[in-house]
Structure 1
Amino acid sequence: MRTGFFVPAAVLLIAACAPSQDKQNASVADNEAAARFADKMAGTPQPSPPAKPFAQADKSEFLEFSYAYPAQAAAIPFLVEKFGKDVASSKANALKMAKEDSVSAKESGYPFRPHSIETKWQVEADTPRFLSLESESYVYTGGAHGMTGYDVVLWDKARRRETSVKAVMTSPAAFAAAIRDPFCKELDRQRAEKRGEPVVRGDDDFTQCINPMEQVLVPTSSNGKLIDSMTVVVGPYNAGPYAEGSYDVKLPVDAAMRKAIKTEYQDGFASP
């Protein structure tokens, strides 16, 4: 004998009258489409699609070229234009030099080594007030080895414009005085770590404490809320031999550093 359970007629009636899930979803989609159409007809601005990271890479018999920047930069038209000009000019100049070297090598009877230039921007701070970007560029022009260089872009979100790191300081001299001692201490610590022995002061840049203001200063943030450190990026040969590579000397914002920041920018920096 088959067993079963009783379903009240009222329940069956409700189920029969209720719209299916597919119909409900279709109705929601239709309503959303109608709302978008109404907004469009009324002239309501439509939200822009999220920006995407930019990357370009090309390779020819003369030059290998690449350039990239993150989505945060791609969302700012000014930076898109700025980096677009940099892409065009750096590629054109590098290609011109590579072709000239190719001709020269052929005339001299030497093999030509293709050149390369690679630039990559990355986010070091993305806070409510600032977007800080650092680039690392590698350039090879046929020699024994290439060279690495660095740059920084600081975007002031509150003022919607690019500014410079030195522009946020009360003065470069005041900022230099605020960071020199901790910079020298941390640079020597990193030097000793790489060399396996303490630094002994001499009369050359590889043992002296170099001027941090002549290096690349990059505002950095660990929490995405405030600038809480300043990284002094020291390229090859500036503080040690090529084999030591670059140095990233991160200096936390302390009272002395914050005091050397202009009042109108201090809201973007951490309080020690």
Structure 2
Amino acid sequence: MTRLIKAPALKFLLLVGAAATVLAACNRKEEEAAAPPPAIPAGPAGAAAPNHPLAYESKNSFANVKLTLPDAVKGQPELHKAVYDASVKDLQTFVEGAQADRTEAGGDGGMPPYERVIEYGTAVQTGKLFGLSGTSYEFTGGAHGNPAYLAVLWDKALKRRIDLNALLKPGADRGALERLLCAAVNAEKKVRDPQAETLTLGPPKDGAYWSCPALSETVVGLAPSTTPGKAGGLTFLIGPYVVGPYAEGGYEIDLPQSAIRALLNPAYADEFAGAPPKREG
């Protein structure tokens, strides 16, 4: 149902023992807050040129960076330009930082170039909505690279970015949505490991290392649907270290529209129908 994915800039060693696990989790969350994914403008960005690129790549002795966008984004030129421009700016800043970092260190010490890859995958599109999700991956040394999720929700008519709050009706019980998500996370953890501890909302309790994520800790995208032209629900993308150790990977949790329909904003409720297809793996 879920797969390991890719992440923002952070340096971590493999977790060793319970104390190291707790420390890594805390550090991870702090560094994620300090190095967010590229910010996509919320409002109109101006029409993109017909040949606006779907890819960008740059390589030198300091860093290798790459951006990939799906062909479907060309149908939303304002979004296309906004995502491309913000991502390229992010990658160029990363290259500049890599050069400064490694020059200051007096050389690369035989280490390969730093790496940052931003890759948006297949889009989910309805009459009013366009959902774009993907991953980022960054390596700046250490035991492994660091993955993270990315997602953009776009109102096609308004030509602007929206967020989860816009999809929920005013006064919607966000706690109910967090409980649904928590139950789904626990179900997936049991699939991966039948002996996995059961997580709860709020701070970890009774010596536990992890807890269920708050909505603010998740990246939210549109789930594909078995009904063409509709979204099957919402996909909650949870990176490593949020609900488990790095080795456990990230989580892609689909909450079907049938389970959350009572919480949806009437302005968007008709964009949802069917169910998310079963994930492979």
CA distance in 1, matches of 2:209, 2:257: 26
CA distance in 2, matches of 1:196, 1:182: 20
**Residue pairs, 1:11-90, within 5 angstroms:** 54-90=54-90
Answering whether residue 265 of structure 2 is matched by residue 262 of structure 1, we say: yes
Q: Which residue of 2 aligns with 1:142?
A: 141
CA distance in 1, matches of 2:208, 2:112: 32
CA distance in 1, matches of 2:172, 2:236: 16
Q: Could you tell me which amino acid in structure 2 is paired with residue 216 of structure 1?
A: V
Match for 1:252 among 240, 256, 262?
256
Q: Could you tell me which amino acid in structure 2 is paired with residue 221 of structure 1?
A: P
What is the root-mean-square deviation in Å for CA atoms of aligned residues? 2.7
Match for 2:172 among 163, 171, 174?
174
Give the 3 Å change call, closer, same or farther, for CA 135–170 of structure 1 in structure 2.
Answer: same
Count of matched residue pairs? 221
CA distance in 2, matches of 1:196, 1:117: 35
**Residue pairs, 1:103-122, within 5 angstroms:** 103-106=103-106, 110-122=109-121
What is the TM-score normalised by the length of structure 1? 0.71
Give 5+ residue unaligned stretches, structure 1: 1-49
Alpha carbons 2:62, 2:98 under 8 Å: kept = yes
CA distance in 2, matches of 1:205, 1:69: 39
Q: Which residue of 2 aligns with 1:33?
A: none
Q: Which residue of 2 aligns with 1:231?
A: 235
Answering whether residue 213 of structure 2 is matched by residue 215 of structure 1, we say: no
Percent identical among aligned pairs is 26
1:63-83 deviation digits (Å, cap 9, x = unpaired)? 111101112212222122212
Deviation at 1:155, TM superposition (A): 1.8
Q: Which has the higher helix share?
A: 1
Give 5+ residue unaligned stretches, structure 2: 1-49, 276-281
Give the 3 Å change call, closer, same or farther, for CA 247–121 of structure 1 in structure 2.
Answer: same
CA distance in 1, matches of 2:55, 2:87: 10
Q: Could you tell me which amino acid in structure 1 is paired with residue 248 of structure 2?
A: E
What secondary structure, in the 3-state scheme, does the structure 1 residue paired with 2:187 have?
Answer: helix
What secondary structure, in the 3-state scheme, does the structure 2 residue paired with 1:251 have?
Answer: strand
Deviation at 1:140, TM superposition (A): 1.0
Q: Give 1 or 2 for the bigger CA radius of gyration.
A: 1
Answering whether residue 95 of structure 2 is matched by residue 91 of structure 1, we say: no
Higher relative contact order structure (alpha carbons within 8 Å, sequence separation ≥ 6)? 2
Q: Could you tell me which amino acid in structure 1 is paired with residue 158 of structure 2?
A: R
1:227-256 deviation digits (Å, cap 9, x = unpaired)? 22111110010010000110111111125x
**Residue pairs, 1:118-137, within 5 angstroms:** 118-137=117-136
What secondary structure, in the 3-state scheme, does the structure 1 residue paired with 2:87 have?
Answer: helix
What is the TM-score normalised by the length of structure 2? 0.69
What secondary structure, in the 3-state scheme, does the structure 1 residue paired with 2:121 have?
Answer: strand
Q: Which residue of 1 aligns with 2:163?
A: 164
CA distance in 2, matches of 1:180, 1:87: 30
CA distance in 2, matches of 1:205, 1:159: 45
> Which has the higher mean CA deviation after the structures are superposed, 88-97 or 204-213?
204-213
Give the 3 Å change call, closer, same or farther, for CA 144–198 of structure 1 in structure 2.
Answer: closer
Alpha carbons 1:62, 1:99 under 8 Å: kept = yes
Give the 3 Å change call, closer, same or farther, for CA 180–260 of structure 1 in structure 2.
Answer: same
**Residue pairs, 1:175-190, within 5 angstroms:** 175-190=173-188
CA distance in 2, matches of 1:165, 1:69: 22
Give the 3 Å change call, closer, same or farther, for CA 205–101 of structure 1 in structure 2.
Answer: farther
Q: Could you tell me which amino acid in structure 1 is paired with residue 241 of structure 2?
A: Y
CA distance in 2, matches of 1:206, 1:140: 26
1:185-243 deviation digits (Å, cap 9, x = unpaired)? 22112212323414245537754222234211111122332222111110010010000
Q: Which residue of 1 aligns with 2:247?
A: 243
